Amino acid sequence: MFNLIAGRKLNRRISLIGCSCLLVFQVTVFSPVRAAEADSQTDAEERLDEVIAEHRYQHERDRLGEKSNDWLAEFVIGLFIPDRITIHANVFSGGGSFARTPVAVGALLPFAVPKSLVERDVTKGKFLDYPYQANRSGNMITYTAKEWLDNPLMSEGWEGNQMRIQTDYSWNSKASAVNTRLLLEGAGRIGLRGSFDYRRDVEMIADYNGQDDFWIGDMAVTYRFAQSDMVQLRAGGGFMWFSDGMDADIGWNFLYEADWYLKDPWVVNASLNLGALHFQKGRSSAPVVNFRTTIGYQRKRIQVYIGFQHLQIGNDERDAFISGLQWSF
């Protein structure tokens, strides 16, 4: 009987020792091995993504017929392949043909730098019905291709395009104007931006027409070159027009615009139009600069905003205050 009890105690001790050894082995050996395997798998996936991005990059270079370190090809590829975003750091580094073209550097900085800061690896996006809808942080739902493959339903239920209509009143001590703006934009980044303004100004371009009032506007095809949930930047080109009731004139126009959705309900917008009006009847062309910046209060589809405008036509310049409304569709 005594031997039986002693044997059971011995077996129990052996079992406890065995379980303890197994636990020590799992904690000290097996768990780190599994963690190392998981890290290795993650590293392998990241390297695969890098190889795929590099392959796409090289394919685009070959398609463009570009074999050397050409700055224009670098920038074009960087615009359309967001996962090759390191390109924007490379093209501004010392050496290479890009560094020897300061004019090109200055021209491309407004595009390359915001894209690198805002977009990073975002490739696709859809619009909300209106800013801050459903307690979202901005005006878009943006995501990478990998995020969409992991969750294809993440973009369901959101708009593929947006439409905005603005109307506002600007004034100063010499002039006043009623301004209207329209923006149509799709998920594919292509858009249409237009404006038409009715101005009453006794002195502005009086040497051209001698009229107290006139119409001026523009139309541009745009490309949204950088986008995130909270920031979108677009640029484009088109034509500018002018009419004073006596004759109509036309010219070219370049647009650069940014929307920044700070925090519900605040929205900041800034736009710059550069162009020239080619007047008829032997009159010289007049350069046009129209800069606007506003801050708005968003309430569902309606935004109330105030801001500042600087308008220059030829040698005449006007600074004015702005107040108006925007509707989102």
Q: Over the stretch 42-72, which tens digit does the pLDDT of each residue have?
A: 665 666 665 565 555 555 555 544 443 444 5
Segment 225-248 shows an average pLDDT of 89
What is the predicted pLDDT for the residue at 320? 95
What is the predicted pLDDT for the residue at 280? 64
Both tokens of 211, joined, read: 């009229």
Residue 297 and residue 319: Cα distance in Å, rounded? 23
Does the pLDDT value for residue 236 go beyond 50?
yes
Q: Does residue 247 contact residue 215 with C-beta atoms inside 8 Å? A: no
Residue 218 and residue 273: Cα distance in Å, rounded? 9
- The more confidently predicted of residues 18 and 99 is 18
Residue 304 and residue 168: Cα distance in Å, rounded? 10
Range 161-328: architecture per CATH: Beta Barrel (2.40)
Share of the chain above pLDDT 90, in %: 39
**pLDDT band at residue 5 using 50, 70 and 90 as cut-offs:** very low
Does the pLDDT value for residue 224 go beyond 60?
yes
Residue 175 and residue 59: Cα distance in Å, rounded? 55
Q: Does residue 121 contact residue 85 with C-beta atoms inside 8 Å? A: yes
What is the predicted pLDDT for the residue at 57? 53
Share of the chain above pLDDT 70, in %: 58
- The more confidently predicted of residues 322 and 136 is 322
- Tell me which of 209-213, 234-238, 310-314 is least confident: 209-213
**pLDDT band at residue 115 using 50, 70 and 90 as cut-offs:** confident
Contacts of residue 129, Cβ cutoff 8 Å, sequence gap at least 6: 159, 301, 328
Q: pTM for the complete prediction?
A: 0.70
CATH 2.40.128.90 domain span(s) along the chain? 161-328
